[in-house]
Structure 1
Amino acid sequence: MEPQSILLAALAGFVTALIFSSIPVGPINLTVINEGARRGFKWAMLIGIGAATMEVIYCSIAFAGFSSFFDRHLVEAAMKVFTFVFLLFLGSRFLTAKKVAATTEFGSKAEQLEGRIEGKLHPHSAFAIGFVRVMGNVGVLLTWLVIAAYLMSHEAYFTDQYWVADTFAAKAACVVGVALGTNAWFCGLSFGMSRRHGRFGEKTLLRMQHFSGICLIAVALFDGAHIVWQLARHKL
């Protein structure tokens, strides 16, 4: 059973990383798109690798922050409701966006923090640019906290196992999956944009953001229906 839970956690990490690296069209994706078209594949790929490295660090921090308290059913139920509300909120925000923006940033203070970190560290290499931009984005850490809570409090579809079991091996496998997923996305994006002679237009990026919102709302509604079904089954 242990190898199965490790494989499931790695798969969950990989797929989740692919999804949340590609959405929303935030500062890192925009940087990779623009730099890939302007300076080529290698430069854009190094920005993406730097960003992926910091994402993996934030992901590790998020999973380290959750432990066996998920054994308590009340806490687990509360986290399910919280992640449902968060996904619904985030999806609605993407869907109603009027312009392309870094929608995972949380207000002016978060933007000031990001600018202050970049100003102090003065990243010059491509890797450092990607690394520092994710480091300064508080929304990335908060997003991974929610994702970690979701994966550890929800059972995988058609199984009786959680997406990520509360074991070191499963968490480590999920982090490895996240590393592979984020790097795969940024490398693919860098390669694609280095082969283009122009940049994505504002309308195209906005459509991608709206589609991201629809996907997140669909996931939230599915989870909401599952919560209602569980309540009805247990007559709570």
Structure 2
Amino acid sequence: MITLEYLLIGIGVGLVTSAPVGPVNIMAIKHAAQQGFGKGVTVAFGAVVADTIYAALAVFSVSAVTTFVTGQEDLIKALGGLLLLGFGLRVYFSHPHMEPGEGGASALTDMVAAFLLTVTNPGVILGFVAILGGLGTWRPVAGDHLGALSMVAGVTCGAMLWWCAICWLVSHMTGRIDDTWLERANHIAGALLVVFAVGLYVDLLVRWVL
């Protein structure tokens, strides 16, 4: 597989893993709504750095143990699919809430908070391992460092693309962002995670049947 394909796959992973609305999204949305696009992206950058670190750990660890992963691919897909299914359903049925009002912490302070919230969340690394481990032949093989770096770069680009898009949208929709809007965003993100999980099980079923 060429490096460009790994980059595009990473972008997709970055988009999917950044979309669920949680504390970091709400902080970024509040700053974008109250102080503009730049402040919202500043907050989100903390989460992007944490995502990049975990994506690198997941990609390179998966690449380094390709022989083991290949031998246990069905088990990894089954467990990863279960994890993603549960996470997707939790995201879909969650009820995020954004407190109104001005003030609060600065964008730089919340950027650090966003990094800490993301890097200390075990669900993040488990999510990356589940998704990247379930890619099968679509992930870099052991020794393909350029492919692994391309996929990690793609995750970073995908995450930044999500945050830039959401902060730009919010900064142009000040006054329209409410809990209902956040729930709809989670419905989309949760549904995508569930679809990915179902796709893993469909792939397993096809392989077992054939």
Give the TM-score range, shorter chain: 0.7 to 0.9
Alignment-derived partner of residue 42 in structure 1: 38
CA RMSD of aligned residues (A): 2.3
The amino acid across from 2:129 in the alignment is: L
Alignment-derived partner of residue 186 in structure 2: 209
Aligned residues: 200
The amino acid across from 1:164 in the alignment is: P
The runs of 5 or more residues in structure 2 that have no matched partner are 98-106
- From 26, 32, 49, give the equivalent of 2:28: 32
Alignment-derived partner of residue 104 in structure 2: none
Question: Given the alignment of the two structures, is residue 182 of structure 1 paired with residue 159 of structure 2, yes or no?
Answer: yes
Cα gap change, 1:68/1:88 in structure 2, threshold over 3 Å: closer, same or farther?
Answer: same
The offset of 1:232, in angstroms, is 1.3
Alignment-derived partner of residue 106 in structure 1: none
Identity, in percent, stands at 24
Cα gap change, 1:27/1:186 in structure 2, threshold over 3 Å: closer, same or farther?
Answer: same
Runs of 4+ deviating beyond 6 Å = none
Does the CA-based 8 Å contact 1:91-1:213 persist in structure 2? yes
Cα gap change, 1:199/1:135 in structure 2, threshold over 3 Å: closer, same or farther?
Answer: farther
Q: Deviations over 1:17-60 (max 9, x none)?
A: 012211x1111111111111112222111111222112101111
Does the CA-based 8 Å contact 2:85-2:193 persist in structure 1? yes
- From 115, 123, 132, give the equivalent of 1:148: 132
- From 61, 83, 86, give the equivalent of 1:65: 61
The amino acid across from 1:74 in the alignment is: G
Alignment-derived partner of residue 90 in structure 1: 87
**3-state SS of paired residue (1:52):** helix
The amino acid across from 1:35 in the alignment is: H
Separation (CA, whole Å) in 2 of partners of 1:208 and 1:127: 22
1:1-236 correspondence to structure 2 within 5 Å: 4-22=1-19, 24-72=20-68, 73-97=70-94, 99-100=95-96, 124-125=108-109, 127-151=111-135, 154-155=136-137, 162-166=138-142, 167-233=144-210
**3-state SS of paired residue (1:65):** helix
Normalised TM-score (structure 1): 0.75
Does the CA-based 8 Å contact 2:32-2:40 persist in structure 1? yes
The amino acid across from 1:130 in the alignment is: A
Does the CA-based 8 Å contact 2:52-2:152 persist in structure 1? yes
Does the CA-based 8 Å contact 2:63-2:140 persist in structure 1? no
Cα gap change, 1:10/1:165 in structure 2, threshold over 3 Å: closer, same or farther?
Answer: farther
The amino acid across from 2:48 in the alignment is: A
Separation (CA, whole Å) in 2 of partners of 1:70 and 1:77: 13
Normalised TM-score (structure 2): 0.84
